[in-house]
A = this chain, B = another copy of it.
Amino acid sequence: MISIALDMMGGDLGSAATLEGAKIFHAAHPEVKLILVGKKEELSSEIGEIVDARDVVAMDAGPLEALKARESSMYKAVELVKANEAQGVVSCGGTGAYLSCATVRLRLIPGVKRSALITAFPTKIKGKKVVVLDAGASNENSGEEIAQFALMGSLYSKFVYGLESPKVYLLSNGGEEHKGSPEGKEAFALLKEDAKLNFCGNIEAREALSGEADVIATDGFSGNLLLKSTEGTAKLMSGMLKDAFKRNIFSMLGYLLCKKGISEMKETMSSKKVGGAMLVGVNGTVVKAHGNSDGEAFANAIEVAYKLISSNMVDKIKEGLSS
């Protein structure tokens, strides 16, 4: 039986949002056991088991703080995976705190140099996603670490999207081999020699969402930048679009006539739909939801964890790294 531990307290919107998310997920997957970790008086035993936790790790808490807060919902939720009572954990708590807590308590898979956040982006090709890692678990990474991210990303793409030979790229400031950050160039040299991967070279941020790449590996600072600037630009353009439609009565009518297509576009660009990013490289399925996740976003993050557990992603990565 699949069992998922949920940190119900860590997000910006508190337990009301996570509880709504858990309910949405439970309605779709009543067979999955949810373990709700948080202040018991705010939770509901109808949709899962409750584990009481009185403390909440603050959004801006550092790694040490999170590891010391043993009575927190975040720490206790991670511990459930360590104790094998759950196969995965989902939290919308602060990135630094949550990822350190998960990495230290669950430990890295043997051979993994650094864990990485892997997140999916929409592309120009309808329905096609590109996964990017590290999207912000680290602040800086060595070339060797980035090369290993490429491998883990390829395995993820293979088993989550069913691609036989995912096209793997390095994020760079130019397409040519001599371009890239110093660490990116190191990773390039390593990947070029790796026959296991379908390594296709450097890709510029401009082409990241073109649909050409299946996997883009980069250091955590750059990956985070890519993620956040995509979000920021999408937000800016959505606002402009809204203004364009609100100009006058004709443009409002115009909006009504093409509403369906516009909604689809918004849906594709919405970070809520993505739901959660996986922390790859640790012993257990660890999913990070957006800090300001509402019910829908949190439900989608639980869905991500569910899919990863069902497809034995952690074992697949273990096998892939040892072969």
Chain A residues packing against B (C-beta within 8 Å): 60, 62, 122-124, 136, 139-140, 171, 173, 176, 178, 180-182, 204-210, 220-222, 224-237, 239-241, 243-245, 247, 250-251, 253-258, 260-262, 264-265, 268-269
Contact = CB atoms under 8 A, between A and B. Distances in A.
A240 B140 CA distance: 34
A120 to B, nearest CB: 14
Contacts of A237: 233-234, 237, 265, 269
Classify the interface of chain A: helix, strand, loop or mixed.
helix
The oligomer's copy count stands at: 2
Nearest to A229: B205
Nearest to A94: B174
B254 A235 contact: no
A216 to B, nearest CB: 11
B241 A241 contact: yes
Given A139-B173, A233-B230, A237-B234, A244 B265 contact: yes
B236 A123 contact: yes
A180, A205, A226 interface centre (most CB from chain B within 10 Å): A205
B123 A221 contact: no
B232 A210 contact: yes
21 contacts: A123-B236, A139-B180, A139-B182, A140-B181, A173-B224, A181-B221, A204-B232, A205-B224, A205-B225, A205-B227, A208-B229, A225-B225, A225-B229, A234-B237, A244-B265, A247-B260, A247-B261, A250-B258, A253-B254, A254-B256, A257-B257
